[in-house]
Chains A and B, each alone.
Chain A
């Protein structure tokens, strides 16, 4: 069955098609959800809410643009909504920080560790870092999505990078000391 057919069936509220669609995208979308959440449980809740929205609104999907992109936007929006509701407003020091260069041994860095450090970031830093670095949104878009200024977005990103750099460096230092 082609993706189009699957989408058509989902629009008719076909339970089997919905299950198939879920299985097709749950891996990617859960990974996405994980990055935007504080922890595993929150990521699952977010994914659940996102899929409910997806199946309720799939009739509105007009086959314009990539379907996967549409799905991702819903997952991200669902995640952001959660923080908008909570009114996450970190106190932001709007200073410019230079680009952060890090020295890494590429192979040894574990993905679970990276995910963990992202999840440990303060909410706004995490969101901005994800949106800008991993999902390719511009500062302007981020500003609109999070209802913050472009400057704030940039500043948040810089802070996020600093925190991540420090954590990755100390992680590698501990790895090196173990291997020595």
Chain B
């Protein structure tokens, strides 16, 4: 079949209806490109997590040390309450002037400054005027405010202010260590700075807003410095002010961030099971090998969570948590013959009931050799009940963000002791024996858990979070290998706003 034809026709005829199948990988690639979000799995760098944990640990420990400081100086606590009250009237008077000129957020900020101004002013009615310090800081503040211009970015202004303020702070510290009087002078001058700013505020709303924040911060810093120096000198009236400033600044800072953020609050309740990993005892070494039964108690509280990004949120809160466990197989008997000075429970401060009793571990008793009067009492157990106020600081890392969300939870808790009782329980009757002496007032736990949340609506989630909390230093004098922990299944609703 030979045929003469144009070359074009040959190809046209042959390629008519020509089809070919590409390999399946082509479609896979196409589908990956047009639906990238399904295939792409973002892997969070490990250092991110480590940094997060380190940061939360640091924050918690610094909070913890703050608590300790407060304990050693009970006086400031009262003054914190009394100070703001006394200033209330002054503050309002000033605020009225300001709020006329500023919008809400602005006046909030100026309030802060004014409040502090008043605080310090009122506590130091007679100040010695130091022209040197005044001059320097006064000049600085003028320079800064002059340089402030709407076109200059916030960052620049802050930088500027920090630079100018730094020497001031340094100066102040040197002076206070040299001469106690100069402390008051410094406070006076910081008033001056704010006076200057107040004037500027009336003219420049934007710029003062920025400088207020910085001044506020630096004031906080000053106040801390002052408080440190003064604690050494055993407290004067200005210490109370300084601490009040610190304490007032902290909640305000939170308020500021709350305004523009994705916060959620969740009340929750959890059954908590407390027990120990090792075989030791928190009560006495003779009970190291006794069997121990963990108790299921309740924990309840409120936590607040801040969403940093899609994957990570930070949360804290306050929980009341009760923990308890029983040491079984204890023989208790009345110590009739002698009022022995030997306390058979070394870590317990016994009350009247307890002092007349003796406690022996029945573990390893050979019952044949023991008088029947003792062997009959074997069913006694010693129950330790502890109550804590728990302040957790945890990072939550979301694995799945669907209707049913899954997340990992890691963090630390500060545990502040609130209840501390030891009971002897015999055939259902429990007798208060006293309290443990080896429980730290503040201790910490390392937390690890899994979070499940079911999104009921955009604003409301139902949470279920089994969390394991390993207690780090709850007891300071345990015997054997006593490693307490508790597990809670935290259930609650969280509300976003």
> Are A and B part of the same complex?
yes
Quick check: is A168 within 8 A (CB to CB) of the other chain? yes
Quick check: is A127 within 8 A (CB to CB) of the other chain? no
Given contact pairs A26-B21, A134-B15, A47 touches B7 in the complex (Cβ within 8 A):
no
CA distance A13 to B12 in the complex (A): 36
Quick check: is A161 within 8 A (CB to CB) of the other chain? yes
Query: Which residues from A are CB-within-8-Å of B33?
Result: 48, 52
Quick check: is A89 within 8 A (CB to CB) of the other chain? no
User: Quick check: which of A1-9, A79-87, A99-107, A147-155 contacts chain B, the rest being far away?
Assistant: A99-107
Q: Mark A12-28, 1 if CB is under 8 A from B, else 0.
A: 01010011001000111
How close is A124's CB to chain B, nearest CB, in angstroms? 17
Quick check: is B151 within 8 A (CB to CB) of the other chain? no
Quick check: is B10 within 8 A (CB to CB) of the other chain? yes
Quick check: is B459 within 8 A (CB to CB) of the other chain? no
How close is B36's CB to chain A, nearest CB, in angstroms? 11
User: Quick check: which of B22-30, B117-125, B315-323, B378-386 contacts chain A, the rest being far away?
Assistant: B22-30
How close is B247's CB to chain A, nearest CB, in angstroms? 54
**Are the C-beta atoms of B6 and A26 separated by less than 8 Å?**
no
**Are the C-beta atoms of B12 and A134 separated by less than 8 Å?**
yes
Secondary structure call for the A interface? helix
Given contact pairs A19-B27, A51-B30, A102 touches B20 in the complex (Cβ within 8 A):
no
Query: Which residues from A are CB-within-8-Å of B11?
Result: 114, 118, 129, 133-134, 164
Quick check: is B458 within 8 A (CB to CB) of the other chain? no
Quick check: is B8 within 8 A (CB to CB) of the other chain? yes
Quick check: is A44 within 8 A (CB to CB) of the other chain? yes
Quick check: is A55 within 8 A (CB to CB) of the other chain? yes
**Are the C-beta atoms of A47 and B31 separated by less than 8 Å?**
no
**Are the C-beta atoms of A100 and B7 separated by less than 8 Å?**
yes
Which B residue sits closest to A108, measured CB to CB? B1
Partner of A102, one of B1, B7, B13, B14: B7
How close is A50's CB to chain B, nearest CB, in angstroms? 9
Given contact pairs A133-B11, A168-B10, A101 touches B1 in the complex (Cβ within 8 A):
no
Query: Which residues from B are CB-within-8-Å of A44?
Result: 22-23, 25-26
Quick check: is B5 within 8 A (CB to CB) of the other chain? yes
Question: Most chain-A Cβ atoms within 10 A of its Cβ — which of B4, B5, B22?
Answer: B22
Query: Which residues from A are CB-within-8-Å of B7?
Result: 100-102, 161, 164-165, 168
How close is A158's CB to chain B, nearest CB, in angstroms? 11
Which B residue sits closest to A99, measured CB to CB? B6
Query: Which residues from B are CB-within-8-Å of A30?
Result: 19-22
Quick check: is B2 within 8 A (CB to CB) of the other chain? yes
Which B residue sits closest to A103, measured CB to CB? B4
Query: Which residues from A are CB-within-8-Å of B15?
Result: 31, 35, 111, 114, 134
CA distance A52 to B5 in the complex (A): 40
Query: Which residues from B are CB-within-8-Å of A102?
Result: 4-7, 10
Query: Which residues from A are CB-within-8-Å of B1?
Result: 105-107
Given contact pairs A164-B7, A164-B11, A48 touches B23 in the complex (Cβ within 8 A):
no
Quick check: is B51 within 8 A (CB to CB) of the other chain? no
CA distance A107 to B3 in the complex (A): 10
CA distance A107 to B13 in the complex (A): 11
Chain B contributes a number of interface residues (CB within 8 A of A) equal to 29
Partner of A109, one of B2, B8, B10, B25: B10
CA distance A100 to B11 in the complex (A): 13
**Are the C-beta atoms of A103 and B6 separated by less than 8 Å?**
no
CA distance A99 to B8 in the complex (A): 10
CB-CB contacts below 8 Å: A135-157 with B = none
How close is A125's CB to chain B, nearest CB, in angstroms? 13
Quick check: is A76 within 8 A (CB to CB) of the other chain? no
**Are the C-beta atoms of B8 and A133 separated by less than 8 Å?**
yes
Quick check: is A128 within 8 A (CB to CB) of the other chain? no
Partner of B34, one of A55, A100, A109: A55
Q: Mark A28-39, 1 if CB is under 8 A from B, else 0.
A: 101100110000
How close is B12's CB to chain A, nearest CB, in angstroms? 6
Which B residue sits closest to A162, measured CB to CB? B7
Quick check: is B18 within 8 A (CB to CB) of the other chain? yes
Given contact pairs A34-B20, A103-B2, A18 touches B34 in the complex (Cβ within 8 A):
yes
**Are the C-beta atoms of B20 and A31 separated by less than 8 Å?**
yes
Quick check: is A73 within 8 A (CB to CB) of the other chain? no
Quick check: is B35 within 8 A (CB to CB) of the other chain? yes
**Are the C-beta atoms of A104 and B30 separated by less than 8 Å?**
no
**Are the C-beta atoms of B3 and A26 separated by less than 8 Å?**
no
Query: Which residues from A are CB-within-8-Å of B8?
Result: 133, 161
Which A residue sits closest to B1, measured CB to CB? A105
How close is B24's CB to chain A, nearest CB, in angstroms? 10
Partner of A104, one of B5, B23, B31, B35: B5
CB-CB contacts below 8 Å: B9-67 with A = 10-15, 18-23, 25-27, 29-31, 33-35
CA distance A28 to B6 in the complex (A): 25
How close is B10's CB to chain A, nearest CB, in angstroms? 6
Partner of A101, one of B5, B30, B35: B5
- 18 A–B contact pairs at CB < 8 A? A15-B35, A19-B27, A26-B26, A35-B15, A44-B26, A48-B29, A52-B34, A101-B7, A102-B6, A102-B10, A104-B2, A104-B5, A104-B10, A105-B3, A107-B1, A114-B10, A114-B11, A165-B7
Name the 5 nearest CB pairs between A and B, nearest first.
Answer: A27-B19, A30-B22, A31-B18, A133-B8, A51-B30
Name B residues whose Cβ lies closer than 8 Å to a Cβ of A: 1-8, 10-15, 18-23, 25-27, 29-31, 33-35
Knowing that A30-B20, A44-B25, A114-B10 touch, tell me 13 more A-B residue pairs with CB under 8 angstroms.
Answer: A13-B34, A15-B31, A22-B30, A30-B19, A44-B22, A48-B33, A99-B6, A102-B7, A104-B3, A107-B1, A111-B14, A111-B15, A164-B11
